[in-house]
Amino acid sequence: MGRYQPSTRLNLLLSRLTDGLLHPDEARELEEILQKDAGARTYYRFFASVHLELEDHERLAAPMVIQPRPIWQRPAWLAVAATAMLAAGLAWWQITKPRPPGPAIPGVSVHPTMAVISASKNVAWNQPMVAETGTPLQAGTIRLDAGELSLSLDGGSEVAVRAPVEFELLEKSEFALRRGQAAFRMNGQLIVHLPHAAVVNNNGEFSANVAEDGTADVRSFQESVTVSTTEDRRRSREEFLLGSGQSLHVTDKLAVTALAADQFLRLPAPAPIGYSLAGESYAKAVRESSPLHYWRFQTMDEKRQIADETGGTPLLLKKNPRIEGSAGRGYLYLDAAGSAGFATTEAPLKGLDTSTGRSIECLLFPGSDQYLTAVSLETADPAFPLPAPGAKMHHAPQLFALERMKRNGENIGHVHPDYALRSMFRSPPGYKGGTNTYSRESHLFYRWIHVVATADAGRIQLYVNGRLSDQSPAGIGFNNLNIRPIIGNLQPDPRDEQRQWIGGIDEVALYGKILTPEEVEHHFEALKQP
């Protein structure tokens, strides 16, 4: 859900509901709030799902001890009503809960990824693989004996841990810190289990330290998080709304402390781009595959033009993007502020809409968790009969878009891994419809990624880092249209949808054919050479 901030009163009413202490007048007040406020209804569904998941987790962890309560303290009808409300909330959440896509490549088995490494430093751990950026992690217990690790969790939240530390990746949106230090930035539903408590919220930033004896300290750095004791079954669960700048000591009870901020781990800043991965070995491999157009973003002339390595049409930088990086390792840098803009050609391109198919290849460094468009191809042929434009569209009909999505379903309601790549081919060119293919890889940001998207008359394929990520059947027609590329945005004059690329783009190559899997792998391997 978005960043809806529930009122203190709404949090109180929901807490009393889950504890079975809601008075009839309060129940009517809660009902009125939910009827009038759509954000409150969304928050209620999240609240209900989280608390029921906590209850399920505790039932598995400890035997249930039923304590008799006087009927006047918890009327039977109120218990039934509360259970019904929570069940309805959970049912709605289960219906609307995003489902991961099934495998589209025959014979490929996909293990669920709970997290992806976004940064690592001098890591020694209990896992068999090297802890490098982009490594997917499945559910299980992980122990760090040395170093630091940053993770992007399935669901969008971020975690940083420092050795010595032991933690467990549970189900989606659940994380357990057994001992050591960890910092969290929530972006969506997340439950963080501590030995004696759980920290629950849908946004905010906090850190936790867990000692060897299981006691913990928690500090909120941004917004508020709810800390709930979970171990003692003989009394109602104790809850505390921990505000920004507050610290809490957690045993089987909760106590506010004055523990300073510097006693906690903080999430590191996103990794800088630095320079492009592509050297001369990569450029040589690309040229051997005979692209129709190839732009390397090494330098620009006085007209802000980028030369075409094939001797063809140059790119022109529009608005304020700039060339960054080191000598021989430059790239196109864009952001949503002082370096916003895109690159395009003045003249239309030929040969990219024929029966031999089409391939787009590039290096991408997504520098944000926003919805970003890297490459868009639009028609540039006035002789072609185009469909009537939509009421809110201010650009030519598109044939292709390569984008980095946000969290599952957050942009256009489609099912895809969080922060996946999307390649979309439209046939015929127009404003609606098209065939989408999403990468199996998730959390694609703050690192360079090699991407290839291909399309022929029967299928479209998406490659990530040298390997086929996914493919979709498609009925694509080719009309020998002239095409204009837009690199770094969805459209040249965005008014309704801002999909400005934020980060780096390099080595954009357009082919009037289908790249083979062997060519794609060869190009990727060439990135590892000077």
| Domain boundaries defined on the chain | 8-86, 115-263, 335-384+394-526
Q: What is the mean pLDDT of residues 119-147?
A: 92
What ranges in 62-154 are assigned the alpha helix state H?
76-96
Q: Fill in the DSSP letter of residue 268.
A: P
* Mean pLDDT over each residue of the chain, to the nearest integer: 81
pLDDT for position 498: 72
Confidence of residue 497 (pLDDT cuts 50, 70, 90): low
Which residues does 36 contact at the CB level (< 8 Å), separation at least 6? none
The answer for residues whose C-beta is within 8 angstroms of residue 312's C-beta and 6 or more apart is 292, 293, 349
Pick the more confident residue, 466 or 380: 466
In this model, does residue 383 exceed pLDDT 90? no
pTM: 0.66
Per mean pLDDT, which of 95-99, 174-178, 404-408 is the most reliable?
174-178
Amino acid at 70: P
Amino acid symbol at 392: K
pLDDT, position 248: 95
pLDDT-derived band at 344 (thresholds 50, 70, 90) equals: very high
**What does the pLDDT look like over 165-219, one tens digit per residue?**
999 998 777 899 999 999 998 877 789 999 999 998 777 899 999 999 999 999 9
* pLDDT band at residue 112 under the 50/70/90 scheme: confident
- Strand 254-257 to 239-242 pairing: unpaired
**What dotted CATH number matches 335-384+394-526?**
2.60.120.200
Asked if the model's pLDDT at residue 84 lies above 50, the reply is: no
Q: What is the C-alpha to C-alpha distance for residues 29 and 10, in angstroms, rounded to an integer?
A: 9
Question: Is domain 115-263 classified as CATH 3.40.30.10?
Answer: no
Percent of the chain scoring above 70 in pLDDT: 78
Q: If pLDDT is split at 50, 70 and 90, which confidence band does 268 have?
A: confident
- Residue 2 vs residue 293, higher pLDDT: 293
Give percent helix, percent strand, percent coil of the chain, each to the nearest 5.
Answer: 15, 35, 45
pLDDT computed for residue 156 by the predictor: 73
Residue 48: the pLDDT is 66
Q: Do domains 115-263 and 335-384+394-526 have the same CATH topology?
A: yes
